[in-house]
Amino acid sequence: MRRARSYAPNLQEECGGVPVSRIRPNEYFLRSQKYRKQMDLNCLIPAIQRVRTSDPQMGSREATYLRTYPAVLAIASCSGLDDTVRFLQLATVVYGWMPRVLRLDPNHLDDAVVALREARETTDANRNGLLIHNVSACLRSVVGASTLLHFANPKLFPIWDRKVQRFRLGADPSQYHMDQVRNYTGYASVIHEIRQASGFSGFHAAFNEALGERLTRLEIPPYHLTEVRSVESAAFELAGNEIDEA
């Protein structure tokens, strides 16, 4: 009993102060383990060579994902749309691109529409975690909300999914973990920290150059990724670039 009493506070400390009894088993594993790595610029650099020297199969889902990315960006940037129409249109297109089945919660639609409008005008100085919360409540998915917000403002909002989070943590995240807005905002903060790292501009340029070479080999017109997109694309590449169905 003495050993159990002395060990429990350590568990709670490792789990961020949350009582262990309130944490689901897989979520406890993610909170309590000593993570294999922390995602930083150095661990992303190998992605440049991988992109430079390997390609998805022509016509595969992964190649289609690359080919259609700028088309979705173009749809997201269309002007002159009613805000609600814009949200519904973009959500439909984004869920086809992911791909997922779109299910909206109408009780949160108005707040999500406002959040999308604000996201388009958000800058580094006024990033707001409430935007992802309101959109995810309507889409019933934090992953879906991250993708929609990315296309609304690709300079600030990274796409998040289970594969990228697995790479970041070094362990498979539970569905409970992926449903928590705070875990997305933590991931986004890491992305923006990496943007500020010494040597990032060189990484960004080299990754875009390698991507341009890959796109050319796939007979896709080359395009340029934002800083945010280049970081999460590098993580996605190193995690294994097959589209995650989970």
Give residue 174's pLDDT band: very low, low, confident or very high (50, 70, 90): very high
Contact 161, 244 (CB under 8 A): yes
51 versus 23: the higher-pLDDT residue is 51
Which token pair is 208? 């875009």
pLDDT tens digits, 107-150 = 999 999 999 999 999 888 777 777 899 999 999 999 999 999 99
* Cα angle 92, 157, 112; round to 5: 50
Q: Is the pLDDT of residue 12 over 80?
A: no
pLDDT recorded at residue 90: 97
CA distance 32 to 201: 34
pLDDT recorded at residue 130: 78
Give residue 38's pLDDT band: very low, low, confident or very high (50, 70, 90): confident
DSSP letter (8 states) at residue 128: -
Which token pair is 80? 């002159």
CA distance 192 to 227: 9
In this prediction, residues 211-216 reach a mean pLDDT of: 98
Q: How many CA atoms lie within 13 A of 184 on its CB side?
A: 30
Q: Which parts of the chain fold into alpha helices (H)?
A: 2-14, 25-32, 41-44, 46-53, 61-76, 83-97, 109-121, 129-139, 142-152, 162-169, 175-178, 181-195, 200-217, 227-239
Q: In which residue are the tokens 């875990």 written?
A: 183
pLDDT recorded at residue 124: 83
Encode burial over 8-32: b for 16+ CB neighbours within 10 A, e otherwise: eeeebeebeeeeeeebeeebbbbbb
Contact 47, 203 (CB under 8 A): no
CA distance 34 to 212: 37
Query: Among 70, 139, 137, which residue's Cα sits nearest to residue 100?
Result: 139
pLDDT recorded at residue 31: 43
Cα separations in angstroms, 7 against 3, 22, 26: 6, 17, 19
- Out of 9-23, 28-42, 123-137, 149-163, give the one with best mean pLDDT: 149-163
pLDDT recorded at residue 196: 95
CA distance 170 to 106: 36
